[in-house]
């Protein structure tokens, strides 16, 4: 969306009803110097904006869908407790799948009365994410207690059982994370193609909608560039598109 506004100033887009001849779909995607610099027709501008927005908007879950997914694990079983805690953590922090798999018990720390999760992200960059939900901490504690998990700082936060059974406890793998996400979104009857990164998309989208604080959400998500975080402003893009269409009518 920012590319559209830089390439076609709002004043130009606002003149869509100025009588300029229609522009083809291919021309609508060209910079002004490639089609004479004339204003876009209403139809071409709408196609241009919609086309670019479709490329940017990632799949995400609504808050109701997240709640539906979190209701699916059977929390009376060890796997159910693990899967619930894992899904709850992913939707509450926006962790990448690899970041989740690398977590150790010692990455969860209390400082000044607050609980923080220290995460190693892309490029070896570390960030700390606040854990403000008591229910999430309780879910983790219940899982560790049921699993008889080691409390050593270097112990994996989430584990799976290897081929040799109970004597073969391993850190959770990215394949298991993928399977868990697919399993519970299917049980929740979510009619979307959801993968682990979709939970990250969901967290960032809702964090932006609640706070509108781009730099803060950028830090939480571990984005190097602010433009990466801006790509999640679905609601603002939709509002701007509607405003431009009204100006053209």
Q: From the candidates 71, 114, 122, 186, which is the catalytic residue?
A: 122
Q: From the candidates 29, 178, 195, 197, which is the catalytic residue?
A: 197
Domain ranges across the chain = 2-58+233-248, 63-208
Which tens digits make up the pLDDT trace of 151-181?
889 999 999 976 666 666 789 999 999 999 9
pLDDT range class, residue 3, cuts 50, 70, 90: very low
Residue 5's closest CA among 48, 35, 54? 48
Which tens digits make up the pLDDT trace of 9-67?
444 434 444 444 444 444 444 455 454 555 555 555 555 555 455 445 568 899 999 99
What token pair was written down for 234?
Answer: 């679905």
> How far, in Å, are 101, 128, 172, 173 from residue 125 at the CA level?
16, 10, 21, 21
What pLDDT score does 33 carry?
Answer: 47
Residue 180's closest CA among 207, 158, 203, 165? 158
Give domain 63-208's CATH superfamily.
Answer: Intergrase catalytic core (1.10.443.10)
Q: From the candidates 75, 81, 82, 223, which is the catalytic residue?
A: 223
What token pair was written down for 222?
Answer: 């571990």
Cα-based torsion angle of the residue sequence 68, 109, 124, 230 in order, rounded to the nearest 10 degrees = 50
Annotated catalytic, 223? yes
pLDDT range class, residue 7, cuts 50, 70, 90: very low
What pLDDT score does 39 carry?
Answer: 54
pLDDT range class, residue 212, cuts 50, 70, 90: confident
Annotated catalytic, 195? no
Residue 184's closest CA among 71, 60, 61, 59? 71
Annotated catalytic, 46? no
Q: From the candidates 75, 81, 82, 96, which is the catalytic residue?
A: 96
If you search the block for the tokens 């509450």, which residue do you land on?
A: 92
Mean pLDDT (whole number) for 54-82: 88
Mean pLDDT (whole number) for 82-111: 95
Check residues 70 and 226 and name the one with the higher pLDDT: 70
Q: Whole-angstrom Cα distance, residue 100 to residue 177?
A: 9
Q: From the candidates 75, 200, 201, 206, which is the catalytic residue?
A: 200
Q: Is the pLDDT of residue 4 over 80?
A: no
Answering whether pTM is above 0.85, one says no
Helix ranges (H only) for 71-150 are 78-93, 97-102, 134-147
Check residues 220 and 12 and name the one with the higher pLDDT: 220
Handedness of CA 83, 85, 88, 89 (dihedral sign): negative
Annotated catalytic, 197? yes
Mean pLDDT (whole number) for 185-198: 94
> Residue 169 is inside which H or E element, if any?
strand 169-171
């Amino acid at each position: 969306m920012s590319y559209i506004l830089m390439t076609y100033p709002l004043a130009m887009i606002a003149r869509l009803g100025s009588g300029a001849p229609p522009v083809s779909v291919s021309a609508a995607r060209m910079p002004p110097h490639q089609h004479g610099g004339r204003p876009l027709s209403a139809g071409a501008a709408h196609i241009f904006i919609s086309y670019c927005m479709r490329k940017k908007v990632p799949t995400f879950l609504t808050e109701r869908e997240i709640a539906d997914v979190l209701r699916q694990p059977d929390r009376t079983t060890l796997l159910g407790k693990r899967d619930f805690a894992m899904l709850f953590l992913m939707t509450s922090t926006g962790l990448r799948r690899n970041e989740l798999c690398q977590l150790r018990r010692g990455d969860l720390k209390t400082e000044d009365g607050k609980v923080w999760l220290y995460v190693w992200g892309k490029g070896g960059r570390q960030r700390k994410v606040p854990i403000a939900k008591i229910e999430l901490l309780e879910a983790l504690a219940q899982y560790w207690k049921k699993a008889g998990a080691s409390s050593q700082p270097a112990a994996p936060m989430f584990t799976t059982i290897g081929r040799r059974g109970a004597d073969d406890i391993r850190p959770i793998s990215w394949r298991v994370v993928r399977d868990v996400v697919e399993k519970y979104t299917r049980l929740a009857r979510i009619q979307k193609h959801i993968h682990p990164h979709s939970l990250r998309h969901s967290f960032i989208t809702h964090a932006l909608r609640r706070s509108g604080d781009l730099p803060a959400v950028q830090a939480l998500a571990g984005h190097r560039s602010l433009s990466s975080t801006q790509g999640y402003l679905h609601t603002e893009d939709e509002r701007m598109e509607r405003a431009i269409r009204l100006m053209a009518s």
